[in-house]
Amino acid sequence: MLFTLCLCFGFAVLSSEYENIALHKPTYQEFPYQVSSSIGRELIQAGNAVDGLKSNRSIWGGQCTQSASNQQTATWWVNLTSILSIHHITIYYRTENSPWDSTSDYPWRFLGFSIYVSNTTDRFQGTLCYKDTEFNISTIPAVFNTTCLVHGQYVIYYNERLQGATYPNGYSKYAFNEICELEVFGCSIPGYYGYDCSIPCPEHCLSSCHIETGACLGCAPGYLGHRCESDCPYGYFGQNCAMVCNSTCTGCDNVNGVCDTGCHPGWKGDFCQEKCLSGTYGYNCSGMCGHCLDLSYCSHVDGTCQTGCGPGYHGRQCKEECEQNTYGTNCSKLCGNCLNKDQCHHANGSCLNGCNPGFQGDKCLEACDSGYYGLRCKQECSSFCKQSRDCHHVTGFCKDGCKSGWQGNDCFEVLKNTECDTDWQSRFYGMTGAFCVTFIILITHVIITRNEKKCCTRKHLQDHTAKQKESHYMKTYENEAVDPGYQELGEFNTSSTIYYNK
């Protein structure tokens, strides 16, 4: 008796800690008991089970609900109007205000009942709070209480007597739900717990928390733990942290998976699922691709030109101009003979500052034209080269040596007194001697010829003079006069000579 009193007292105290959240809430009866009058229907309507009245537990006392006879199933539910935290449920059965024992007509009707809590009217979508498998007509109580620490909107009472099914002895043939009061104790305001429902549930509970301990009955997306106090592990997000962040995120939001700390290089977008646009790469797609041979093959991650570089560039990203006297595609061509070995234009190979001596053209690949050499090919080769103006295009040196009388690499020096000079002089003087001899012979011949002519003339004159003398002599002789000038014949000679000279 003392135990019974303590139990009843404890139950009363327990009940008083929570509010009856089913009181005056909407209800439903699957198979209502059929009566013709409206007054009769009111006396057994489904709402009587949540009117708070349970002093008269007879069928026509106006405080109980009554289901139809001869039914295989009996379903009744109360709508709490929102998902609330439930602690325990109490059921007051119809007793007809008579003693409740094995001889009563009602206990066998309730054996095998079930209580569900669901967020819909479908009990199979909810939680089975209690299923009677232990009571018999002697042990089932007239007032039943069960702890049901769940959340839900609908509390569903269900019983069945299905055809073909075998039930324990003492079960009624048909199913009934003759309930005078069904009380649901819990917190009337969602999100609170404790004996007086005054403590807020932890922040990240899915909806509410355990009505006694405050433990979350489920966590909001992005959180884990007994009280949903922990963020999802790195790389996971969503409900129960079951979803994996995109691998291109540097880190994603634990709730919705948005890449809130940014994307790995080469990706963009809220979820880092979009590649960088063509021509861009890297972190935040802020890098600009270099001079790739084909821009569409610039890696969106690191900017590497995967098919090589366009004219004039080299390097992984093709951002470095050709150097070390190279140019062109992939810097594969060698510069020409640029002045002072200067770097040529990295793209087209032209020598920007001109050519080294001996070369010409934009790329300084062409030797000077024949007969020219040196800087800008403006110097003329020597005409004293053995082959006239046939010199090296760079140095100006005569290729096959010099003409006679000249020396030096470029054959601009007069031959000096060396072995070569002596040979040249010998030839020169020999030729001069020969010329002189010839000239002397010629002069001698001319002189001799003239002398012969002179001699002939003199002889003729002498003959003529002799004749004249003879004639003169003869004339003198004839005149028998001796010429005293005979001794002055020389004067005549002189006169004769003068005459010749004339």
- Six-digit token string for 234: 């790195």
Q: Tens digit of pLDDT for each residue in 278-337?
A: 999 999 999 999 999 898 899 999 999 999 998 999 999 999 999 999 999 889 999 999
In the prediction, which pLDDT does 10 show? 41
Q: Which of 1, 182, 199, 209 is nearest to 89 (CA)?
A: 182
Question: What DSSP line would sit under 438-500, residue for residue?
Answer: HHHHHHHHHHHHHHHHHHHHHHHHHHHHHHHHHHHHHHHHHTT---GGGGGHHHHHHHHHHHH
CA distance linking residue 74 with residue 350, whole number of Å: 100
- Whether 333 is in a domain gets the answer no
Boundary-marking domain end, from 159, 188, 217: 188
In the prediction, which pLDDT does 475 show? 41
- Whether 344 is in a domain gets the answer no
| Cβ burial 12-43 (10 Å sphere, 16+ → b, else e) | eeebeebbbbbeebebebbbbbeeeeeeeeeb
pTM: 0.54
When divided into structural domains, the chain yields a total of 2
- Six-digit token string for 74: 């009996």
- Whether 430 is in a domain gets the answer yes
Which residue numbers in the chain have pLDDT < 50?
1-15, 418-421, 424, 461, 464-502
In the prediction, which pLDDT does 266 show? 95
In the prediction, which pLDDT does 39 show? 85
In the prediction, which pLDDT does 439 show? 73
- Whether 36 is in a domain gets the answer yes
Q: Tens digit of pLDDT for each residue in 421-467?
A: 455 455 555 566 556 556 767 776 666 667 666 555 555 545 544 44
- Whether 80 is in a domain gets the answer yes
- Whether 81 is in a domain gets the answer yes
- Six-digit token string for 440: 């002397």
- Whether 465 is in a domain gets the answer no
**In the block, residue with structure tokens 């007809």:** 96
Domain that holds residue 113: 11-188
- Whether 286 is in a domain gets the answer no
Boundary-marking domain end, from 136, 167, 188: 188
In the prediction, which pLDDT does 218 show? 86
In the prediction, which pLDDT does 388 show? 87
Q: What is the CATH number of the domain that holds 53?
A: 2.60.120.260
